Amino acid sequence: MGTRFIATALSVLLLAATAQAADSGCESAAADKHLNGAAKTSFVTKCEKDAAASSAKATCDAQAADKKLHGAAKTSFTKKCVADAGK
C-alpha cells in the first residue's frame, strides 16, 4: 500500500509540474508564432489540453506498469485511467 501511495503522489506532482510547464511552453510557442487574440487563445487551449493528455497517459502507463498489467488489461486500464484524469 505504501508503494501505491508514493506512486500516486508522484503522479500528482508530475501532473502539476507538466501543467505548469505546458502553460509557459504553450504561451511561448504562441508568441513564437506571433499569434494574438482568438487565434492565440485557441492555440494555447489546444496546446495545454494536448500536454495534459500526454501527461495523463504517461502517468497511467506508469501505474499500469506498477500493477504489472500487459496486453488488453493494460490497454483497458490505461484508457479508463486517461478518461478519468480528463474529468
Q: What is the pLDDT of residues 43-54, one digit of tens each?
A: 999 999 999 889
- Residue 58: pLDDT band by 50, 70, 90 thresholds? very high
Q: pTM of the prediction?
A: 0.58
Cell of 8: 500516486
**Residue 71: pLDDT over 80:** yes
Range of the domain at 67: 2-85
DSSP 16: H
Q: How many domains does the structure of the chain reveal?
A: 1
Where does the chain have alpha helices with state H? Answer: 2-32, 37-66, 71-85
Determine the 3-state secondary structure of 18 from DSSP: helix
Q: What is the pLDDT of residues 6-36, one digit of tens each?
A: 666 556 555 555 544 556 799 999 999 999 9
Residue range 32-41: average pLDDT?
95
Q: What pLDDT does residue 36 have?
A: 94
Q: What pLDDT does residue 11 have?
A: 60
Burial of 14 (0-12, 13-18, 19+ CB in 10 A): middle
